[in-house]
Amino acid sequence: MKNKITGLHHVTALASDTKKNLDFYAGILGLRMVKKTINFDAPDVYHLYYGDEVGNPGTIMTFFPYTGLVRGRKGKGQLTVTSFSIPENSLDYWMKRLERFNIPFESPQQRFDNEVFIYFEDTDGLGIELVANNTDTRKGFTYGQIPIEYAVKGFYGVSLSEEGYEKTANLLMDKMDHKLISQKENLFRFSASGKAGDFVDIICLPDSLRGVGGSGTVHHLAFATENDQSQKEVRERLLTNGLNVTPMLDRQYFHSIYFREPGGILFEVATSDIGFTLDEPKEHLGESLKLPSWEESNRSIIENGLIPIQLNIEKFHD
């Protein structure tokens, strides 16, 4: 039977400074800002989406930048590391690039065969990895400031810090079409597609502190499903597991359901069939502030309350 969950869709995190956030993800990492909109539940705050050329599922990192938000603490019950996929042999390039922008990083480490990574944090302390590998067949995307042979291809995977692993593992495997594909000590790797880009690593850290929300922490992890029908089927499966699942919510560029997994992380299942070209052409994604229809009448008030942002691409050229 065809999987109803096809892989990862997006990761949404909290930030404290809109300009620094744009500089880090679109400038230094070279992702494209594919949508500039507002937090539908708090219209005085941006919702910024970064991704590949069109913001394909599995490449989308999104932020709510609340100016001055107090820093959170990464820990158990959170997605603690978001890993991006880079081509094999591109780590040297990235280490030099991070040095140039004064981003400290840890020495390269090997996790599995053909998988070498560096860990660093964004300006709010969010955990990021660049994973050099030769298994990801996706093309990278670049505005031109990063040579294409080094460009980020999208997610490699995510790491969930948990007290235990079995309940979360069973949820992923029994209800969400994931398979256990690797295991090493306290790390359990799952994937729905089996491919780089969709890895979900559960890391058991029973002795560590629980995470506390705030800037530099992830708000939720979204998995991809094809459309409303497949989402409905996943929702029904989740309900039989006793989970408290929201009704479908309209997020404009996808439809979503949310629930909390047994380890405490907020999961979402988002549809892949709408996308970011819904309200602006591919060539102009992210250029103007997009509002949901029910906020259009408040546009001038909303625009006045947001600081204008524009990436100075020249600053980030090699």
Contact residues toward Zn ion (CB under 5 A) are 12, 222, 268
In the bound state with Zn ion, the residue whose beta carbon lies nearer, of 11 and 171, is: 11
CA proximity to 39, closest of 220, 180, 263: 220
CB-count exposure of residue 59 (10 Å: 0-12, 13-18, 19+): buried
Closest CB 178 distance from Zn ion, rounded Å: 19
In the bound state with Zn ion, the residue whose beta carbon lies nearer, of 12 and 78, is: 12
In the bound state with Zn ion, the residue whose beta carbon lies nearer, of 124 and 268, is: 268
In the bound state with Zn ion, the residue whose beta carbon lies nearer, of 5 and 222, is: 222
In the bound state with Zn ion, the residue whose beta carbon lies nearer, of 19 and 220, is: 220
Closest CB 11 distance from Zn ion, rounded Å: 8
Closest CB 304 distance from Zn ion, rounded Å: 27
d(CA 107, CA 137) in angstroms, rounded, equals 26
Count CA within 13 A, CB hemisphere, residue 134.
Answer: 4
Closest CB 10 distance from Zn ion, rounded Å: 6
CA proximity to 129, closest of 113, 146, 150, 105: 105
In 192-247, beta strands by DSSP E = 199-204, 218-225
Closest CB 98 distance from Zn ion, rounded Å: 27
In the bound state with Zn ion, the residue whose beta carbon lies nearer, of 140 and 211, is: 211
d(CA 123, CA 227) in angstroms, rounded, equals 35
CA proximity to 276, closest of 4, 96, 35: 35
Closest CB 153 distance from Zn ion, rounded Å: 21
Helix residue spans in the chain (DSSP H): 18-22, 91-100, 166-170, 228-240, 299-305
CA proximity to 210, closest of 259, 260, 163, 160: 163
Q: Which 3 state secondary structure label does DSSP give 231?
A: helix
**Residue 214 zone, left/alpha/beta (φ > 0; ψ -120 to 50; rest):** left
d(CA 116, CA 105) in angstroms, rounded, equals 14
Q: Which 3 state secondary structure label does DSSP give 173?
A: helix
Closest CB 297 distance from Zn ion, rounded Å: 25
In the bound state with Zn ion, the residue whose beta carbon lies nearer, of 128 and 270, is: 270
Closest CB 222 distance from Zn ion, rounded Å: 4
In the bound state with Zn ion, the residue whose beta carbon lies nearer, of 12 and 56, is: 12
